[in-house]
Homo-oligomer: A and B are copies of this chain.
Amino acid sequence: MTPSALSQHVVIVGGGFAGLHAAKRLGKAGCRVTLLDKRNFQLFQPLLYQVATGSLPPGDIAIPQRVVLRKYPTVRAIQATAYDVDPQARVLRHEHGELQYDTLIVATGVKHSYFGKDQWKPFAPGLKTVEHAIEIRHKIFKAFELAEVTEDPAERARLMTFVIVGGGPTGVELAGAIGELAHKTMVKDFRAIDPRAARIILVEGAAGVLPVYDRSLRDAARQSLEQLGVTVMTETRVEDIGERSVRIRRGDAVETIDCGTVLWAAGVTASAFGQILAERTGAERDRGGRVMVNPDCSLPGHDNIFVVGDLAKLKDAAGHEVPGLAQGAIQEGQYVANLLLARARGKTLAPFRYKDLGSMAVIGMNHAVGDLRLFKVRGIVGWFIWAFVHVASLVAPEQRVSVFLEWAWKYLTRRQGDRLITTNPTNTQRLRAERLAPGRNQAA
């Protein structure tokens, strides 16, 4: 790069796969970069369901951006929420101040969405953040705890019913992991209940789970789920979600399922910053709020502003829409970094071209289905390939070892340690005051 290029300031908003990989590549070349994120860590979302079901601690699938970027002295990471951008003045505004940029890369991703039914949110947590995963973990394990202690059979049955909405990879993986908890891991842990009596219902609107997959893999996935005790309801729509039940419709048949836990794995929408960027630049957005970009990931009319990762709606050079997967985000982040480095040398690059490395989903400990382009995999072979691919994708080398050791250990022992319910428990004095209040029967 030329000295003038090195003095340019690249500001990246969002430290997920896309933003972090752009920052690494630019940092390696010695560019001056500031990376902003609301969080101080990058999250490996494909494994988040394992945090939600107590197999992995969050620290094993997340790493602070500043640790990843430690070796690049020209890259600064700051934890801050960005809330405005001025494309004329080239200023990004964030909660602690503002940053002057030469180039802006926006990689703020997507969050989960209830398709306009936000009233369902308190009853059906989604799975996009570490907090969601911990909340889901508490819900799942608390349901079994309460089922063990209640003496009302109907209430016990309700508590042991789990409904997962959405039959994509996240829904399939969550349902499989809960099935495995109930049918394998926790079998001997209770006295009043048999965890195998749990009902785990996966609800999907399409004709099969994992709708983007090949027919034979879809069938294999369904079979694996059913072996773990999961009831798969396809062509079924959720009509309403309440505190203690879900109403579903299949054709003309409507059913209300009493349940203790509903998990939402059905939809995503663009981050709030995507809307702000579109307002300030006049960029177009699709129905899901994603920002339409040029084939080189730049915003139409703004060749120094780029959108990468899940927030971008991009048809690549081959005319294929880039899917919202980690591999797409990584490739786009690296592409934009390379493009900026080429521009600094007075050159340019051909439009972005997505390289599809295949996709996989895991069902329980040792079943996975995957379409790896050259061949399809399933069963335990699928699981091993899945485990290898995921461990290899973790950003930091020390995480690879740690996750791999945890998995190996868990695999050998079939135990799980991270089942802690760490919300504050019922306070003794408050409970006493309430139960022993004057006028109440003490023996109640």
Contact = CB atoms under 8 A, between A and B. Distances in A.
Given A73-B191, A273-B428, A79 B421 contact: yes
Contacts of A95: 426, 431
A70 B39 CA distance: 39
Instruction: Please state the number of chain copies in the assembly.
Output: 2
Interface in A377-416: 396, 398-399, 401-402, 405-406, 409, 413, 415
Interface stretch (A114-122, A148-156, A253-261, A321-329): A148-156
A271 interface: yes
A334 B93 CA distance: 61
Given A84-B442, A96-B149, A398 B417 contact: yes
A123 interface: no
A145 B422 contact: no
A97 B444 CA distance: 8
A425 to B, nearest CB: 4
Contact of A78 (B149, B398, B406): B149
A282 to B, nearest CB: 18
Given A38-B426, A149-B97, A66 B399 contact: no
A96 B399 CA distance: 41
A417 B402 contact: yes
Contacts of A276: 428, 432
A130 to B, nearest CB: 5
Contact of A399 (B73, B191, B398, B417): B417
A89 B431 CA distance: 21
A38 B142 CA distance: 12
Contact of A422 (B97, B131, B189): B131
A181 interface: no
A212 B429 CA distance: 33
14 contacts: A39-B420, A40-B421, A41-B419, A59-B417, A59-B418, A62-B417, A70-B188, A76-B148, A78-B145, A78-B148, A82-B428, A83-B436, A93-B435, A399-B417
Given A67-B415, A425-B38, A435 B84 contact: yes
By CB atoms of chain B within 10 A, which of A67, A190, A271, A413 has the most? A67
A310 interface: no
A90 to B, nearest CB: 13
A431 B189 contact: no
A192 interface: yes
A106 to B, nearest CB: 12
Interface in A128-154: 130-131, 134, 141-142, 145-146, 148-151
Contact of A149 (B57, B79, B396): B79
A272 interface: yes
A173 interface: no
A81 B435 contact: no
A248 interface: no
Contacts of A146: 96
By CB atoms of chain B within 10 A, which of A62, A98, A398, A399 has the most? A398
A435 B83 contact: yes
A76 B192 contact: yes
